[in-house]
Amino acid sequence: MAQTLRDRVIKAAVRYIADSGPDGLSFRQIASDAGVSHQAPYHHFGDRSAIFTEIAREGFQKFTEVMSSPARRDEDSNLAVRMCERYVDFALTNKGYFRVMFRSDLCQMDESPETQRAADEAFDTLLFAVGEILGSSASIDEIRVQATAMWSVAHGLATLLIDGPLEHKIGKVSDRRTLVRGVANRMIDGITS
């Protein structure tokens, strides 16, 4: 299937953001990276916010697919650990999406029902998993608090690995999976104590 102009523009923007972050992104840069005229991105997106909003929508859809897929043999059997590991893996392998998805200053979700719906579905995946972890006797408030704790830990770890000083502080991470599982297990100790 041939890639559309719109797809080329999004792909170029995601690649740029993965390498350089979102702040310096310009239509001229996107057009150059996509190999199209400098006016081409304007045919599909009115401004940077529109591109960021579409990147976030696509990112949340990909994220939901990853987070809700069946467990693989190489994954941890503990659902909380698996969710944390998948979150961090998604962030590191999809930096261009991840660096935009949670930035309300970049994408205007209140102006895009599709993007808001995709973000809500992603969060619902986490709430469902936490409901399974805590069991049927857990209240919605308990589920939300635990989901927030898990999200905070996974997001913080992913951000520290991508953009933060983590390796400068703790040394080179030679086995990311071991680190993520260790951090997730610390979080689980908080769930069970």
Kindly list the domain boundaries of the chain, sorted by start residue: 47-192
Residue type, 29: Q
Which of 45-49, 55-59, 110-114, 168-172 has the highest average model confidence (pLDDT)?
55-59
Sign, CA dihedral 69-71-75-76, equals positive
Q: Which long-range contacts (CB under 8 A, 24 or more apart) does 175-179 make?
A: 176/88, 176/92, 177/85
At 191 the pLDDT is 61
For residue 192, name the pLDDT band (cuts at 50, 70, 90). Answer: low
pTM of the shown model: 0.90
Determine how many CB atoms are found less than 10 A away from the CB of residue 161: 17
Sign, CA dihedral 186-190-191-193, equals positive
Sign, CA dihedral 189-69-180-174, equals positive
Contact 106, 52 (CB under 8 A): yes
Q: What gap in Å lies between CA 33 and CA 85, rounded to an integer?
A: 32
User: 66-75, 116-125, 181-190: which has the minimum mean pLDDT?
Assistant: 181-190
Which of 3-7, 23-27, 74-78 has the highest average model confidence (pLDDT)?
23-27
Q: In Å, what is the CA distance from 123 to each residue of 24, 47, 100?
A: 29, 27, 16
In which element (H, E) is residue 115 found?
helix 113-134
pLDDT above 80 for 189? no
Structure tokens at 182: 């260790």
Contact 181, 81 (CB under 8 A): yes
pLDDT above 70 for 3? yes
Question: Averaged over 14-38, what is the pLDDT?
Answer: 92
Domain 47-192 architecture: Orthogonal Bundle (1.10)
Question: Averaged over 14-24, what is the pLDDT?
Answer: 95
Closest C-alpha among 64, 65, 82, 63 to residue 74: 82
At 171 the pLDDT is 83
At 136 the pLDDT is 93
pLDDT digits (tens, 9 = 90+) for 33-81: 988 888 888 888 889 999 999 999 999 999 999 999 998 988 888 898 9
% of the chain at pLDDT higher than 90: 62
% of the chain at pLDDT higher than 70: 97
What average pLDDT does the structure give for the chain? 90
pLDDT digits (tens, 9 = 90+) for 136-156: 999 999 999 999 999 999 999
Structure tokens at 28: 């001229």
